[in-house]
């Protein structure tokens, strides 16, 4: 199959919205929508998986647009689980990539009257959760966004980042890593249904409105 209209990248099955039906035997799921063919790709978590797999997927399916979704962490407690984060830029170390303004505007229009909190903000991409530093900005963190943006930009493929907050990573929790990790997993599991619902609702509104 070649020439899908959209590629939706989700790092793990744990983060997969109900918008897609998944098979345990493949990392892909195809859905026909009002905007055309939408292909889900389960990339695996982190930089190494994105760098290893994404170029081959882009070459194989030739998507017109890409959306990276799934979970992200929030550095501030004012962003509750389920908050929809529209990335306006992604940061890795001293590098920064801006999201295409027209694509971001289109995504933001979809989120008008959205029942969950939503915000347009920068996202910091980390190699490991343990690399969180004692700072408040950027307010959101993940492990894939910069590498997805970088690889897609090299191929001139418009890319958006739409994630949902799964947990608040406060100053206290950063100081207690890795001892905080079991509690973090428990908290994410408890709020997962709400977070998945936020992502699924966005996808339904974007591809069918």
Residue ranges in the chain whose pLDDT is less than 50: 171-177, 179-180, 186
Structural domain contains residue 131: yes
Number of domains in the chain: 1
Residues 6+ apart with CB under 8 A from 41: 7, 8, 9, 10, 27, 28, 57
Residue 109 lies in a domain: yes
SS (H, E, C) 33-75: ECCEEEEEEECCCCHHHHHHHHHHHHHHHCCCEEEECCEEEEC
CATH number of the domain where residue 189 is located: 3.40.50.1580
**pLDDT at res. 28:** 93
Amino acid 160: pLDDT: 94
In a domain, 1, yes or no: no
Helix ranges (H only) for 62-134 are: 101-110
CA separation for the pair 36, 107 (Å, rounded): 16
- How far, in Å, CA of 34 to CA of 27, rounded? 23
Q: Which tens digits make up the pLDDT trace of 173-207?
A: 444 445 445 555 545 555 677 788 888 888 988 99
Is 76 within the bounds of a domain? Answer: yes
Domain ranges, residue 46: 6-208
Report residue 96 as tokens. 């920064």
pLDDT in tens, 14-37: 888 878 887 888 999 999 999 999
Q: Where are the alpha helices (DSSP H) in the chain?
A: 47-61, 101-110, 145-154, 171-176, 181-208
Asked whether residue 20 is assigned to any structural domain, the reply reads: yes
């Amino acid at each position: 199959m070649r020439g899908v209209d959209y590629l939706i990248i989700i790092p793990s099955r744990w983060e997969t919205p109900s918008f897609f039906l998944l098979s345990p035997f493949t990392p892909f799921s195809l859905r026909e929508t009002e905007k055309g063919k939408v292909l889900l790709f389960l990339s695996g978590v982190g930089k190494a998986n994105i760098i290893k797999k994404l170029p081959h997927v882009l070459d194989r399916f030739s998507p017109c647009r890409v959306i990276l979704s799934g979970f992200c962490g929030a550095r501030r407690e004012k962003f509750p689980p389920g908050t929809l984060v529209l990335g306006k830029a992604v940061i890795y170390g001293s590098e920064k990539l801006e999201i295409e303004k027209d694509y971001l505007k289109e995504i933001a229009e979809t989120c008008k009257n959205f029942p969950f909190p939503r915000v347009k903000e920068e996202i910091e991409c980390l190699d490991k959760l343990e690399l969180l530093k004692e700072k408040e900005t950027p307010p959101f963190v993940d492990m894939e966004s910069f590498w997805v943006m970088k690889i897609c930009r090299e191929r001139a493929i418009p890319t958006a980042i739409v994630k949902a907050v799964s947990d608040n990573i406060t100053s206290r929790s950063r100081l207690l890593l890795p001892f905080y990790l079991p509690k973090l997993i428990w908290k994410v599991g408890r709020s997962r249904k709400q977070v998945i619902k936020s992502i699924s609702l966005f996808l339904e509104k974007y591809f069918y409105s």
